[in-house]
Amino acid sequence: MKPNQFKKLPVFLFTFIAFLLIESCKPKNTNVAASGDASKTYIAPGQYDEFYNFVSGGFSGHISVYGIPSGRLFRIIPVFSVDAERGWGFSEETKPMLNTSHGFIPWDDAHHPELSQTNGEVDGRWVFINGNNTPRIARIDLKTFKTAEIIEIPNSAGNHSSAFVTQNTEYVVAGTRFSIPLDDDNGDVPIDSYKKNFRGTVSFIKVDSSNGRMNLSFQIRTPGLDFDLSHAGKGKSHGWFFFSCYNSEQANTLLEVNASQRDKDFIMAVNWKKAEEYIRQGKGKKQAVRYAHNVYNDETHSATSKIETEVLVLDSKDLANMVYLIPCPKSPHGCDVDPTGEYIVGSGKLAALLPVFSFDKIQKAIAAKTFDGDVDGIPVIKYEAALYGEVEKPGLGPLHTEFDQNGNAYTSMFVSSEIVKWNVKDLKVLDRVPTYYSIGHLSVPGGDSRKPFGKYVIAYNKITKDRYLPTGPELAHSAQLYDISGKKMKLLLDFPTVGEPHYAQAAPASLIKGNSVKFFKLEENKHPYVAKGEGAVKIIREGNKVHIMMTSIRSHFNPDNIEGIKVGDEVYFHVTNLEQDWDVPHGFAIKGALNAELLIMPGETQTLKWLPTKPGIIPFYCTDFCSALHQEMQGYIRVSPAGSNVPLKYGTGVKPNPGQEK
Amino acid sequence: MKNKLSTTSRILIAFASGALIAVFLLPAWRIDLFAPQYPEGLTMNIWINKLSGDVEIINGLNHYIGMKHISADMFPEFKYMSYVVFFFMALGMSAAITGRKKLLLAYIVATIIGGLLVIYDLYKWGYDYGHNLNPNAAIRVPGLSYQPPVLGHKRLLNFDAYSYPDAAGWIVFGAGALVIMVWLVEWLINRKRNKRLKTY
């Protein structure tokens, strides 16, 4: 080695040491900082989870169902979006579910699932969820884990502050995220005439406690505000509903700046018992509107869609003592009521503190008229008069709060990416844990009801980055499970989710699992084209419409040979699954169909529409591996040219049924 | 020789024959099937006049091996078994009311013959179902039959089959045992008395 090279050695050494020092100053890798506890989330094979977790799919338009604490995905329930896997929105029976006043819509953005409640406690009967884009509310029946009903909301644009329920599921609410000229106004106005022409609405949809059927009961017209989230009062505050709003500036462009100008936006408190009283007094006005109301029937195994044409409207401008505004710091998102019903927590996304309002103080302020002006005739309660207190320095970007059974609250902090636990009474921060990364909503089992079950809080994060194996530019949104049974919150588990989880709710499995339907009874099948046995199979031709009433049972279709179909026909395969046992669905797929498959549950009838385009032999088969002879479950259709005189003929096996053209 | 049954015996016989009413309220026999896909098991309950349980599911599975479709109207026994039971009840009751030993003996002999016939009948139907298979069945294992056990356990392909009396079956069995015991006790007492008579 030459001497001049030796001279450089200290320089190298110094650089190396400096590099090491700088490296060690970087924050520790999250894997080091967070330690899971597999034993607490381990559910042995064949064992059941303690909770069901209903997680919104966001832009997937579905709900996914997980087990907690294992984080195992059990099911995806199609709601607002078509689902080729189950033929949802593709079968003739399910197409009406996605009908709206605009026509058939194959997609929506599903945000906030809410379990039905009785007496303020989760009862495990239904899940409601909002369609954010084309305003709708869906009801999922937890007996069948199927979407049972979808109702469209008129006078609305972007149903975000939904689908939350009152404590006995008297109502499920909707609120418009965009204020707009309402349906009976002339909407062809300059956009910058917002302040003059744009208004908001919140809607109260009555729920029939016996069967869950929804019915748009009334709407309240409000000033032109944007409603973000909401929650019902409970216990002492039962009868009230609280909505958070942003854009009190009433900006119509560049909202990220223009709707963030004022120090405070509002929480809107609605006395819905008062609204009911006004309606009884005939103060509601009937407005002509158009909205779809779609209902699925488990006996006909078919949905019907009806366009409703009227809504009852109450105007907050004209009716006193029904609606109040409470100032709330900077663009509140979450609007959450604690289990006692006394405390209402507003989460201002841009605020440096968390205001907690007192229901009693709000009532006193209303009685004493401690107001600070009004917005379009709605009194604004003085901030201090409604305020119980503020949680100081909770974190950055508070979004949403849920509660446990011990008087503690858990608030998600989007910007500082953490969950903060604090005491509702003394407003002291007790603990904080990081989330990976940028948590949106969070969920404690029963955490928005009068009876939280505690035990866990689940974070639903917007950003995943390095948490899982990379999958290109698009990554799964992550959920994280934390143990909250001790003083300190502890991260237990990371699990990926479907679509974008916004809100989610969890309930004890014991409330739901016993009611689960195993199959549909064939004798109760009232589908107009059911074939209740292989003897009932037939084909009816009505002009160019051909109805094939066929059956599937392990492991054949009846008929599986069909002749006499012609180009230009409109063919309907009405497939009845004759099985009467748990977990034996059959599928049905036909080559070249511009459609999806059918997935038919035992005892159910589903219909696939098919338009043959050219003569030939077309195969069809069962898509669900149903038995050892599943692969053999297949058949042929002969398609003849238009106008051909090939007779209608069909059958299965050695003695084909003689076909009869009707 | 005293030819009448004791009062206790007559009450017990009346009780035993009355207990036969159970066959109208409860199933008499059961066949349980377990397989990897059926951890919860499939059960067919056989009554004296009908079948219940997972009969249709079992039929669905049986069609793979070409077994005949099991349905209640295939069994003529279901049509007359109620009358047979009424006859047994009447016979037992008449023994209890009259107290005549000969009637009790007739009752016991009829019960034993009846029981054997029932078991033979079960075997015959089991043989028929297990052997007379559709030659075009999807699954054919040469030389293998699917006869369920008359009593106890047998492995049939992926299924473990168990055949045992059901609730009413056990009651009938108990009632039969009771009258036989009554007969034995009566016989022992009678023998002692006869011995005593001889010594005098």
Can you read off the two tokens belonging to residue A233? 């009062």
Given an 8 Å threshold on Cβ–Cβ distance, is B60 in contact with A553? yes
Per-residue pLDDT at A657: 45
Q: How confident is the model at residue A27 (pLDDT cuts 50, 70, 90)?
A: low
Beginning with the edge strand found earlier in the chain, give each strand of the sheet holding A490-496 in spatial order: A439-443, A456-461, A478-483, A490-496
Q: Where in chain B are the domains?
A: 7-199
Q: How confident is the model at residue A331 (pLDDT cuts 50, 70, 90)?
A: confident
Residues within 8 A of A (CB atoms), B 130-169 only: 138-139
Q: How confident is the model at residue A419 (pLDDT cuts 50, 70, 90)?
A: very high
| pLDDT for A35 beyond 80 | no
Closest Cβ–Cβ partner in A554, A628, A629 for B60 = A554
Given an 8 Å threshold on Cβ–Cβ distance, is B64 in contact with A579? no
Separation CA A205–CA B13 (nearest Å)? 69
Per-residue pLDDT at A610: 98
Q: Where in chain A are the domains?
A: 51-515, 529-651
Per-residue pLDDT at A547: 98
CB A60 within 8 A of CB A499: yes
| pLDDT for A14 beyond 70 | no
Give yes or no for B128 touching A (CB within 8 A).
Answer: no
Question: Where does A51-515 sit in CATH, by number?
Answer: 2.130.10.10
Separation CA A468–CA A476 (nearest Å)? 8
Choose among A436, A462, A349: nearest CA to A397.
A349
Closest Cβ–Cβ partner in B60, B63, B139 for A581 = B60
Can you read off the two tokens belonging to residue A582? 């748990």
**Chain A contact set for B43 (CB, 8 A):** none
Chain A positions with Cβ closer than 8 Å to B = 553-555, 579-581, 627-629, 632
Per-residue pLDDT at A20: 53
Given an 8 Å threshold on Cβ–Cβ distance, is B57 in contact with A555? no
The pLDDT tens digits of the residues spanning A285-318 come to: 999 999 999 999 999 999 999 999 999 999 999 9
| Nearest chain A residue to B58, by CA | A581
Choose among A539, A546, A548, A614: nearest CA to A575.
A548
| Nearest chain A residue to B38, by CA | A582
Per-residue pLDDT at A662: 34
Can you read off the two tokens belonging to residue B42? 């499939």
Separation CA A424–CA A426 (nearest Å)? 6
| pLDDT for A453 beyond 90 | yes
| pLDDT for B1 beyond 70 | no
Average pLDDT over residues A324-330: 93
Separation CA A269–CA A111 (nearest Å)? 22
Choose among A134, A190, A186: nearest CA to A157.
A134
Select the CATH number that applies to the domain covering A529-651 from these four: 1.20.120.140, 3.30.590.20, 2.60.40.420, 1.10.274.10. 2.60.40.420
Per-residue pLDDT at A18: 54
Higher pLDDT, B145 or A21: B145
Q: Do the domains at A51-515 and A529-651 have one common CATH topology?
A: no
Can you read off the two tokens belonging to residue A528? 């107009």
CB pairs under 8 A between A and B: 18
User: Is A69 exposed, middle or buried, given 0-12, 13-18 or 19+ CB atoms closer than 10 A?
Assistant: buried
**Chain A contact set for B64 (CB, 8 A):** 554, 627-629
Choose among B154, B149, B181, B146: nearest CA to B165.
B149
Choose among A177, A171, A241, A179: nearest CA to A206.
A171
The SS3 assignment for A137 reads: strand
Q: Which of B40, B64, B141, B159 should we substitute to test contact with A (largest number of A Cβ atoms within 10 Å)? A: B64
**Chain B contact set for A628 (CB, 8 A):** 64, 138-139
CB A461 within 8 A of CB A468: no
Separation CA A245–CA A325 (nearest Å)? 10
Separation CA A93–CA A605 (nearest Å)? 9
| pLDDT for A120 beyond 90 | yes
Per-residue pLDDT at A355: 96
Per-residue pLDDT at B200: 59
**Chain B contact set for A580 (CB, 8 A):** 56-57
Residues within 8 A of A (CB atoms), B 48-77 only: 54, 56-57, 60, 63-64
Per-residue pLDDT at A8: 57
Choose among A199, A28, A147, A164: nearest CA to A503.
A164
Per-residue pLDDT at A1: 43
Q: Is there a cis peptide before residue A69, judged by omega within 30 degrees of 0?
A: yes
- Complex prediction ipTM: 0.74
The SS3 assignment for A359 reads: helix
Half-sphere exposure (CA, 13 Å, Cβ side) for A369? 5
How close A46 comes to chain B (CA, Å)?
11
Separation CA A80–CA A104 (nearest Å)? 11
Given an 8 Å threshold on Cβ–Cβ distance, is B64 in contact with A580? no
Q: Which of A558, A581, A632, A654 should we substitute to test contact with B (largest number of B Cβ atoms within 10 Å)? A: A581
Given an 8 Å threshold on Cβ–Cβ distance, is B60 in contact with A555? no
Task: Please name the residues in contact with B64: beta carbons below 8 A apart, sequence gap of 6 or more.
Answer: A554, A627, A628, A629, B137, B138, B139
Q: Which residue's entry shows tokens 């929480």?
A: A267
The SS3 assignment for A291 reads: strand
Closest Cβ–Cβ partner in B54, B60, B138 for A629 = B138
How close A535 comes to chain B (CA, Å)?
15
**Chain A contact set for B139 (CB, 8 A):** 628
CB A405 within 8 A of CB A452: yes
Separation CA B158–CA A134 (nearest Å)? 52
Instruction: Dihedral sign for Cα A111, A115, A118, A122, please.
Output: negative
Per-residue pLDDT at B197: 75
The pLDDT tens digits of the residues spanning A372-417 come to: 999 999 999 999 999 999 999 999 999 999 999 999 999 999 999 9
Average pLDDT over residues A180-195: 94
